Amino acid sequence: MWFVIAVIALLVGGALLYLDRRRSAGGGARDRRRWAEARGWEYLDTDPVLPSRWRYGTIHQGGPGRARNLISGDVPTPDGPRQAYVFDHEQAGRLSSVLAAVQVRDAVPAAVELRLPSAPLPDDAGLDLLQPVGERYAFVADAEAVRPLLTERLAAASDAVGDDVELLWAEEAWVLATAPLDSGAERLQDLLADLAEVATALEQADRSTRA
């Protein structure tokens, strides 16, 4: 008798959890849609290809997966608009984080990950610890190429991103960051602005090395 009751309770609990997740996902989709409409951005329920554009950060750790509740558009900056994406990142069938990406005009010479001390170490054998950058530690694919980019301006810009973002990274023509799944539209809007400043800092340092 008690076994039957326990099984029924387990089934009911599972059903309630499933419904709660569906409601949460639906609410997130509505919020993301409203954000896109208010800013003239595009919205997609899902994109199975976009995350495969990148290979470092959480992409390497959990696989490219797919983008859910994806919005894309331009972030205004003093130097002109930058292309940007925000999406819920689904890996191995579950949502892992919100991923934000902002375009860099000139591709960085090599990948760099900036991790808070609380973040797990990268599991990519191609990344080596180089040095602290503000409150974060830089793990890089090519120390000689990346070291000139790790300026005081980059340190200040990466510190401004906030402690709720344990990992941000740059590869090719993008700066990316992962945020908690419960991050609201206002927080993500601020994150995009912060990533645009990180992109500007990298560009400025890169131009200085070429001058």
Q: What's the average model confidence in pLDDT over 159-188?
A: 96
Phi and psi of 119, rounded to 5°?
A: -80, 150
Model confidence pLDDT, tens digit, residues 93-127? 999 999 999 999 989 999 999 999 999 999 899 99
Residue range of the domain that includes 67: 2-210
Model confidence pLDDT, tens digit, residues 140-168? 999 999 999 999 999 999 999 999 999 99
Residue 43 near residue 33 (C-beta atoms within 8 A) = yes
pTM here?
0.85
Model confidence pLDDT, tens digit, residues 13-52? 443 333 333 333 444 688 899 988 998 999 999 999 999 9
Alpha carbon distance 103, 194 (integer Å): 12
- In the numeric block, which tokens belong to residue 42? 């595009």
The domain tally of the chain equals: 1
